[in-house]
Structure 1
C-alpha cells in the first residue's frame, strides 16, 4: 500500500487530495505536516451550510488543523482557506471535509476528545491529547452542537420525568427533562420556576405536548401547574422517591422530639438521649442493610420507646406500599392513611393530610409504576460531574457536558460503529 493511501486513511482524508508531507520543527518538537486540499466535488462549499457558492476571494492563506497523533508524533493538516460568497451567510471560509467550521482540530480529533471527555476528566484528556483545558471545553461544545443539530431530541416523547438539580451554591438550579422510555436526558435549562418549564413546552410544541401520556415529577406547583395547562391529557404521577423522603422526614421529626425529651432540655445528656441520637441511621436504613449494632439499637427502641418505633413501622409500611403498587398498593395506602391519622404522632398526622391532597397523582404512580428513578440517576451523575470539574462557572457548560454524557450525543470513536 502506498504511503499516500495510508495517510488518507489515517488522517480521514478520503474526500481530499494529499499534496505533500513533511516534517517541521516547532517549540514542542517535531510535527508531521500533511498538505491537503478538498476534492473537486467537495470544494467551493460554504463552511456553515455546505451549500455550493461562488468564490469571494482566492487568497491562498493557509491554515493548520491538529489531527490525531501518529504514534508519539504530532500530526497537523495544512490547507489553503479561500472564501466563498454564500447566499445565506455571506463571505465565509470554505468547508473542508476533515474539520468542522471554525475548529482548529480535525473532526476525528474532536470526536476522540469528546469520547474521552464523556468517560474521564478534562484534565486527563488534556494530558493524553496534549491540548489545553479550554480547548477540551470548546471541542465538547462543538461536538454536542453538531450532534444536536442533526437530531430532533424531543421527537416521539410519550412518558417524561421533570425534576431540578442544584449545580452551584446560592440556590442555582437546572431543570431537567428525561425520556422514561430511553433513559436519556432530552432537555435542560437554567432555572427552577414556571417560566423554565413553560420554555420546555414551547420548544416541544402543542402537537407533541398533546402526545404525552405520562409525566412524573414531585409535588412542586411550578411543575404541576404548567403540565396541567400545557399537557392536560397526560397522567400526572407523583414521584415515589419524594414521597419516601416525606415519610423519612416525618420519622426524623419524631426522633428529634423524643431525643429532646429524653435529654431533659437544652444541654442535657442521658444514656437514653445518646442512644436516640445515634439511632438515626438505624431508623433510616432498609432492614436488609442493617448492621448487627443497628439491629440491636432498633430492638432497644422497640422495647423502650413505643412512639418512635411506631413512626419507624409507619415508614417501613409506606415503603412496602411503593414496592407493591397497583390495586393492592391503593388498599395498603388507604389503610396507612387511617393508621397515620390515628397515630398520635403530629408529623405523621400532618403528612397524612398532605398525601390526601395529592392522592390522585399518587394513585397514578401506583397504577403505572412510573417513578423518577431515571432522572434521579441523571441528577447523581450531574453532581459527580460538578465535583469532578470542581464546579462549573456557568449553567451552559454543565448542560453541554450533561448532554454529552447523558443525552446520547457522545460520538463514537473514529473508525468504530459505537
Structure 2
C-alpha cells in the first residue's frame, strides 16, 4: 500500500484516482464511484495540487499574458486569472479582484521574470493597468477588442431601453393608441412602436453578416422610425470594424470614429467616445499586435463550467486547485498508468 500524504486519511493512489476522476468526470460520478463526500473531494484535490504545483514552475517562460476576472459564486465573489497567450494554459489564479490580489501574482513572478513580460491583455480596468505599469513598465498593455465592442453594445442597449421607456410612457398617456395605430398616427405613438423596440434588441447586438431576413427588416424599420437609435447602431458597427482594419489604417480610423461619435450628440455615444479616447493607446496596441483576450475568455468559459461542477467546495482554494489541475497543463494520471 502506498503511503498517504501528510494529514490525509487516504493513500496516495486513492487521492490520485479521485483527482483524476474530478478532472475527467462529473461530480456525481466521482463521489458515487469512490464513496466519499464532495467536500472530501475538494480536500483531496487541494492536496494533489499542492504536490503537483510543488514540482513544476507554472510561471516559467512567460512573455505574453492575459489577465481577467471571473465570478465563481453569487455575491460578487471573483477569481483573478492569468493565462499564457502562447500556450493557452492557466498559469495562476487568486481570490478577489483587487490590486492586492493581482500584485500577489507579480510578487510570485519576481522582478527578473516581470522584466521578461512583453505584452499584457486585459479588460482596461484601471487597477489592472496600474499594477501592470508598476511591475512591468516596459510591457505593452493591450485592450481586449471584445470588451471595447461590449462597451458599445452596452451603450446601445441603454439607448434602446431609453427609447422603449419613452414609447411606453407615450402609450400610457394616450390609451387609445393601444390598439393598432391609424395611418395618420405618428410613428412614435402606439403599441406597435413599443413592440418593435422590444423585438429589435437582438438585431442591434448581432453582427450584420449574421442577421436573418426578419432581423434585417427590423433594422430597416428602425432606420425610418428611430433615426437616433439607428445612428447609434451604425456607430457601434463602425467601432467594431476598426478592429478589422490593417494596423497602419486603424489609428486614423479610430480618431475619425471618435469625432463622429462626439458629433452625433447622442449622450450614450458621446460618453463612449470619451472612454475610447482614454483607452486609445491600448486599443491601437491590440490592433497592431493582433492580440486580444480571446484565449483568456476561452479559459474563462471552462472555468465557469468547472465552477458549476465544484459547487459545494467549502473553500475557494479547492476550486483553484481543481482549475489548475484541469487547465494548467498538468492533469493527474491514473495510478499505475503511464
1:7-406 equivalences under 5 Å are 77=1, 96=2, 99-265=4-170, 267=172, 270-324=191-245, 326-390=247-311, 392-406=313-327
Residue 361 (structure 1) shift: 1.2
Unpaired segments of 5 or more residues in structure 2?
174-189
TM-score (norm 2): 0.88
Q: Is the strand fraction higher in 1 or 2?
A: 1
Whole-angstrom CA distance in 2 between matches of 1:110 and 1:378: 26
Aligned counterparts of 2:198 and 2:323: Cα–Cα separation in 1: 39
Contact map agreement 2:310 2:319 (CA 8 A) in 1:
no
- 1 or 2, which has the higher helix percentage? 2
Shift of 1:416: 4.5
CA distance in 1, matches of 2:78, 2:330: 22
Q: Secondary structure at the match of 1:324?
A: coil
The CA RMSD over aligned residues, in Å, is 2.1
Deviation at 1:106, TM superposition (A): 4.1
Q: Is the 8 A contact 1:144 1:410 kept in 2?
A: no
Distance (whole Å) between structure 2 residues aligned to residue 251 and residue 153 of structure 1: 41
C-alpha distance in 2, partners of 1:416/1:324?
Answer: 50
Q: Which runs of 5+ in 1 are unaligned?
A: 1-76, 78-95
Counterpart-to-counterpart distance in 1, 2:171 and 2:226: 20
- Figure out how many residues of one structure are paired with residues of the other and give that number: 322
Distance 1:174 1:344, change over 3 A: same
| d(CA) in 1 for partners of 2:228, 2:40 | 60
Alignment partners' CA distance in 1, 2:89 and 2:171:
50
Task: Please list the CA deviations of residues 275-325 of structure 1 after superposition, one character each: whole Å capped at 9, or x if unmatched.
Answer: 101211111122333333322211211232222111111112222222335
Tell me the SS of whatever aligns to 2:307: helix
Q: Please give the secondary structure, in 2, of the residue aligned with 1:182.
A: coil
Contact 2:39 2:312 (8 Å CA) reproduced: no
| Bigger RCO of structures 1 and 2 (CA < 8 A, at least 6 apart) | 2
Q: CA deviation at 1:148?
A: 0.3
Structure 1 residue 104, shift from structure 2 partner: 4.3
Deviation at 1:272? 0.6
